[in-house]
């Protein structure tokens, strides 16, 4: 009993370290979740309000302090409303078991998928068939997938080309690809509110800009009027691409898992060459 009492302070100390470690991991994951989203800017604004409240209290600005303190009181409800998309995405991550474990495509799977996309994009561009293809990244796109028709199929050039054939039921919306599978087609995307976008660009380009402004997805666009291939990422648009440069840009933007052979297999292969 005496030895247990002596160990008790050390056990409590380790509990504290583990507690701090868990909180640190949660904060780190939460920061990654809101990184490069609208929530990141909103959090900066909230931090500035907290700092201003404390400063007004220290400096004796009673009217300003009263105003800011009351604003912070109702701020909890405001935060729940403002951060509703981010909170929903966090819960989706937990539900899918992806909050602490991030799955990545194998390099071979990525190459196969991009080859199929390139074949389809080449065909669509040559025949001036409009298309918009979205590649989901870390930010979940479930709210947009739900607006379309679920497909859940491997990415093939034939299927992509057929989806965008004019006057077919799904040709007018976007195709959303999750990992190496076509998740849905005919999806509706939010349009950008940017005034700097050229008037020559139509709804597809505005939708591509809009969805990349609020998520980290990658978007390929084929113009129906000119057949020009474009690429959108983080609210920025690159135009007049060929399929080779498109593949390089997408591959550099996506994360892949490179599976290396064990050392004994490499030696065995070298002996048998």
pTM beyond cutoff 0.75? no
Confidence of residue 88 (pLDDT cuts 50, 70, 90): low
> Which top CATH class is 105-257?
alpha beta
Tens of pLDDT, residue by residue over 224-252, are: 999 999 999 988 999 999 988 998 999 88
Using an 8 Å Cβ cutoff, are 161 and 124 in contact? Answer: yes
Terminal alpha carbon distance of the chain: 67
Count of Cβ atoms closer than 10 Å to residue 266 Cβ = 11
Using an 8 Å Cβ cutoff, are 113 and 157 in contact? Answer: no
Tens of pLDDT, residue by residue over 177-204, are: 998 899 999 999 999 877 778 878 889 9
Bridge partners, residue 178, by sequence:
181
**Extents of the domains making up the chain:** 2-96, 105-257
Tens of pLDDT, residue by residue over 148-176, are: 999 999 999 999 999 999 999 999 899 99
Mean pLDDT, residues 29-48: 67
Examine the pLDDT at 51 and tell me if it is beyond 50: yes
């Amino acid at each position: 009993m005496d030895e247990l009492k002596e160990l008790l302070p050390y056990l409590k100390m380790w509990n504290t370290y583990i507690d701090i470690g868990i909180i640190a991991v949660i904060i780190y994951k939460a920061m990654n979740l809101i990184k490069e989203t609208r929530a990141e800017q909103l959090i900066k604004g909230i931090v500035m309000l907290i700092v201003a409240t404390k400063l007004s209290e220290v400096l004796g600005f009673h009217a300003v302090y009263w105003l800011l303190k009351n604003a912070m009181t109702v701020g909890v409800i405001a935060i729940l409303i403002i951060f509703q998309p981010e909170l929903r995405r966090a819960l989706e991550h937990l539900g899918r078991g992806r909050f602490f474990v991030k799955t990545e495509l194998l390099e071979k799977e990525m190459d196969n998928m991009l080859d199929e996309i390139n074949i389809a994009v080449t065909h669509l561009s040559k025949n001036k068939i409009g298309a918009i293809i979205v590649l989901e990244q870390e930010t979940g796109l479930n709210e947009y997938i739900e607006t379309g028709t679920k497909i859940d199929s491997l990415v093939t050039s034939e299927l992509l080309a057929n989806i965008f054939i004019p006057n077919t039921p799904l040709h007018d919306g976007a195709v959303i690809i999750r990992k190496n599978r076509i998740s849905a087609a005919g999806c509706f995307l939010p349009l950008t509110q940017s005034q700097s976008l050229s008037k020559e660009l139509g709804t597809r380009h505005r939708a591509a800009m809009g969805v990349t402004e609020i998520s980290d997805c990658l978007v390929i666009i084929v113009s129906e009027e000119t057949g020009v291939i474009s690429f959108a990422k983080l609210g920025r648009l690159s135009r007049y691409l060929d399929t080779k440069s498109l593949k390089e840009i997408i591959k550099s933007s996506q994360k892949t898992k490179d599976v290396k052979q064990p050392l004994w297999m490499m030696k065995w292969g070298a002996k048998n060459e």
